[in-house]
Amino acid sequence: MGAGVQAKRSQPGRRSRRRSVMMSEINVTPFVDVMLVLLIVFMVSAPMLTVGVDVELPETAAGALPTEQEPPLAVSILADGRIMIQDLEVPRESLVTKLQSVAAEREGDRVFVRADQSVSYEVVAQVMGALDAGGFNSIGLVTDGNGPLFNAVQE
């Protein structure tokens, strides 16, 4: 598979004594096959790793935030006002304490806030204020990136 034995040719007029020389060529075909299979597996499974709470995000023209090594901590505000950490429902009163206990086990301190487009700005601002008071200063708002650009000039 990886190395083989190759017979060395003798020179004419000499006694032929066979010597074996190791062939030091590496066959990379199985390695490439395995890497391609792993690439396909990760490409198929990566979209399934997102948080499973159904939220209608507002559409904006904002770009994506840089990605981190560990999956982001997501706080979702549903249309009916319920608050979820990842996919676990949490009462508003215990939001910060739950987040602090979860964040103690994580390396990054970034929190992504996902709010349904029908949720009022007041509720989103209250949740963000509670997060800031709890020590979470790196807060990102998640939106759907296919939205229209904002026109400053209104007719």
Q: Is residue 100 part of a domain?
A: yes
Model confidence pTM above 0.85: no
Q: 153 versus 40: which is more confidently predicted?
A: 40
Q: Is residue 25 part of a domain?
A: yes
- pLDDT confidence bin for 55, thresholds 50/70/90: low
Q: Which long-range contacts does 95-99 make (Cβ < 8 Å, 24+ apart)?
A: 95/127, 95/130, 95/131, 95/134, 96/130, 96/131, 96/133, 96/134, 97/134, 99/73, 99/75, 99/131, 99/134, 99/136
24 and 60 assigned to the same domain = no
Domain span at 23: 4-47
70 and 92 assigned to the same domain = yes
For residue 38, pLDDT beyond 90: yes
67 and 13 assigned to the same domain = no
107 and 82 assigned to the same domain = yes
pLDDT tens readout for residues 118-139: 888 888 888 888 888 777 778 8
